[in-house]
Amino acid sequence: MFGKSSKINEFRLWGLLFTLFGMGLMILGTAGIVFWGQAGKVFAGIFMVIGMIAMLASVGVYFWAGMLSTSAVILVCPECGRHTKMLGKTDRCMYCKTKLTLDPSQATDLDDTEEKEEITQPQA
Ligand SMILES: [Zn+2]
């Protein structure tokens, strides 16, 4: 799953995972109070703190993804013809996962024949 989608989608996925992780820990912490009584409160406290950190991390990831997406390049994917966003010089299409690059010298590393044809040799 990881590394095979576009960077923006991957950031969103990580943000979602952190949110679910944080919420899960807080629910477990609350359950600790219900089932273990006094002893459970210690576990609940620890779980709540870790859960809060995970939630804050997810907010950070979402915020970072938002900042990055404002600097992303919007282009039309040559493979599926849809508008996609790119981060950096190489990224994947958000829809068809095709590898895309803005740097012609990096196109040779990719197994996409269409990209290879776009390489322009500088004149001597
Ligand atoms: Zn595409």
pLDDT at 20: 92
Q: How far is the CA of 114 from the centre of ligand 1 (A)?
A: 13
Q: How far is the CA of 101 from the centre of ligand 1 (A)?
A: 12
The tokens describing 43, both together, are 């576990």
Rg of the chain, C-alpha, whole Å: 22
Q: How far is the CA of 50 from the centre of ligand 1 (A)?
A: 38
Q: How far is the CA of 107 from the centre of ligand 1 (A)?
A: 16
Burial bucket for residue 115 (CB in 10 Å: 0-12, 13-18, 19+): buried
Per-residue pLDDT of the chain (124 residues; tens, 9 = 90+): 456 788 888 888 888 898 999 989 888 888 888 887 777 788 788 888 998 899 898 988 888 888 887 888 888 988 899 999 888 888 899 899 888 888 777 665 555 555 444 545 565 5
In the chain, the largest separation of any two C-alpha atoms, in whole Å, equals 79
Q: How far is the CA of 6 from the centre of ligand 1 (A)?
A: 10
Rounded to whole angstroms, how far apart are CA atoms 71 and 92? 16
Q: How far is the CA of 93 from the centre of ligand 1 (A)?
A: 5
pLDDT at 116: 46
